Structure 1
């Protein structure tokens, strides 16, 4: 410690060297993310899905060469930072506008959907890792939740494949839901508030929730966004509980590959959510942090795509598709039943 403090020039040189090592891979991830964003804005396709597919298209970059370290850094460190910054989008003050029964229903929907996924996963030939990953992404906030949960799961040779498959699955289903669910709301003659609750409580990704809600009305859009924030707020406690369970399981199994009790990115999420709830963060700063979070997650998923072999992802199989579809149907039916009961 003393030598490090007495030689700041050495530390600066070391930092520059590290930046030089990471720069090519990080820049490639950024280029893929920017390209995906451009195509998304011009062709109406989800940016996350495009970043993933474009990343897979240049996956040879992660096999060898100067880009390898930076791609790994983007898929891990930038991912965690992006998830942490999601906390600025959570405000307990705004959520106070929802009644306690509705909040309880939303929380129950998240917990029961994850429990359902873990229960039926073996019936589709999948173990708890994939079941938790898919159910958590369906229950909470789509691709963002998938990446956060993946960060605490024990790593193996198929970790990236499961993450890629889950992100693709929930993004596609979320886009389908954005089109189909507003029609369902109209068919069932739900009012704007109930329709907004249903959309916010069932559609996976935030962007698709906003799109579906405001396609009905401004009230439905505002309600859907608010309900979705309650689900996003569940990310930290779910990841914490999962992390504790994994540590306990690993200890019993004699494994030393255990996640920390409270991962750093979850601490960051909780701190930022608390500051946002108390109004400490200025609006301009919160907006900037929210945009930064979206870009970091987009860059991270591009990097994850670059680290993945498409043939290996395809080998996950039809049963995995069926599992995500069944989980999606489960939360939709559960929330629809709950809304009708509360009405």
Structure 2
């Protein structure tokens, strides 16, 4: 076999994907522009703008590229989140607070699963919303959605979850510092409260440093420890789903026990923990990760119609609000014991 036909085939495949990826990237850049000039969360803007271009995912040259971006680029972005993690970060807070954060993550996910069942909603939605609230908002939602078995509501539920946690995070960024001040929490305790309860990393940083440098540093540290839980939680989900025979075989082959993007996350986190990634390189990969996730969420928005989005119902809203209220109460209770 000659090389030329292989190259021609690869070029044809990439050309087939390029249009959808390019339009997703354009939407992401536009969302970032709105974020920088008008203060709206970039993830939220990318999602809403993507929904407005839903017709591109239904027919035409962009269909395959949008699907590729919503899945593969998303996983690439999640894998690169590993450069934010190091063992030194985890040790810094002490065993009591670390234990509280880990327990809070699993209790929140468990609560989401139980409440979803009580409300008559699918267990997928419970794990998706619970994981996004417990770990790191939109990024966690996209990582968890990548391993959950697909059904006709998968994309709608992902868009709903990303939209909800982004809006709740923005609301929390303003309200939670006021709550901390009313409770007379110390700067460190305020940082633990903000980092342990706000869903998205960007809003944690915004809320923390709006109080003080010490609060911002602590809040960011606590949040990154929650981000550390992303890999083990997604891995646990993948193992249980496979053990129950519920994995998604729609592509004709059995998915791997450990998703490749989680392996990438763990490898990068390990290398960073060993101090082998220079700060400038880590910052570069972190920026690439943020842009990959922004482009991916634009593509996810394009794959979801607004009409289907509105079908999610009030029970789903109640579910994610209850999960949010629970983690706030749990962290405040933990602070009264350990800080």
SS in 2 for 1:125: coil
Q: Give the TM-score taking structure 1 as reference length.
A: 0.96
Tell me the equivalent position of 2:54.
59
Cα distance in 2 between the residues matched to 1:244 and 1:283: 34
Q: Deviation at 1:10?
A: 2.9
Cα distance in 2 between the residues matched to 1:113 and 1:13: 50
Tell me the equivalent position of 1:282.
278
Are 1:223 and 2:250 counterparts?
no
Cα distance in 1 between the residues matched to 2:146 and 2:266: 17
Tell me the equivalent position of 1:12.
7
Tell me the equivalent position of 2:39.
44
Q: How does 1:108-119 map to 2 (within 5 A)?
A: 108-119=103-114
Q: How does 1:134-213 map to 2 (within 5 A)?
A: 134-213=129-208
Cα distance in 2 between the residues matched to 1:71 and 1:111: 33
SS in 2 for 1:281: coil
What are structure 2's unaligned runs of at least 5 residues? none
CA displacement 1:219-258 (0-9 Å, x = unmatched) = 0000000000100000000000001111111269x99986
SS in 1 for 2:147: coil
Task: Say which is worse superposed, 89-98 or 41-50, in terms of deviation.
Answer: 89-98
Tell me the equivalent position of 2:116.
121
Closer, same or farther: CA 126–257 of 1 in aligned 2, 3 Å: farther
SS in 2 for 1:64: coil
Are 1:100 and 2:99 counterparts?
no
CA displacement 1:145-197 (0-9 Å, x = unmatched) = 00000000111111100000000011101111111100000000000000000
Q: Deviation at 1:259?
A: 4.1
Tell me the equivalent position of 2:243.
248
What are structure 1's unaligned runs of at least 5 residues? none
Cα distance in 1 between the residues matched to 2:198 and 2:121: 23
CA displacement 1:263-322 (0-9 Å, x = unmatched) = 000000000000111111111111110000000000000001101111101101011001
Q: Deviation at 1:45?
A: 0.7
Cα distance in 2 between the residues matched to 1:260 and 1:184: 44
Cα distance in 1 between the residues matched to 2:116 and 2:15: 44
Tell me the equivalent position of 2:304.
308
Cα distance in 1 between the residues matched to 2:33 and 2:324: 29
Tell me the equivalent position of 1:334.
330
Q: How does 1:292-303 map to 2 (within 5 A)?
A: 292-303=288-299
RMSD over aligned Cα atoms? 1.7
Q: Deviation at 1:17?
A: 1.2
Cα distance in 2 between the residues matched to 1:156 and 1:30: 27
Cα distance in 2 between the residues matched to 1:251 and 1:17: 34
Q: Deviation at 1:79?
A: 0.4
SS in 2 for 1:151: helix
Cα distance in 2 between the residues matched to 1:101 and 1:8: 59
SS in 1 for 2:244: helix
Cα distance in 1 between the residues matched to 2:106 and 2:173: 23
Pairing partner for 2:266 from 244, 265, 270: 270
Q: Deviation at 1:260?
A: 2.3
CA displacement 1:42-69 (0-9 Å, x = unmatched) = 1111111110000000110111101111
Closer, same or farther: CA 257–338 of 1 in aligned 2, 3 Å: farther
Give yes or no for contact 2:129–2:141 (8 Å, CA) kept in 1.
yes
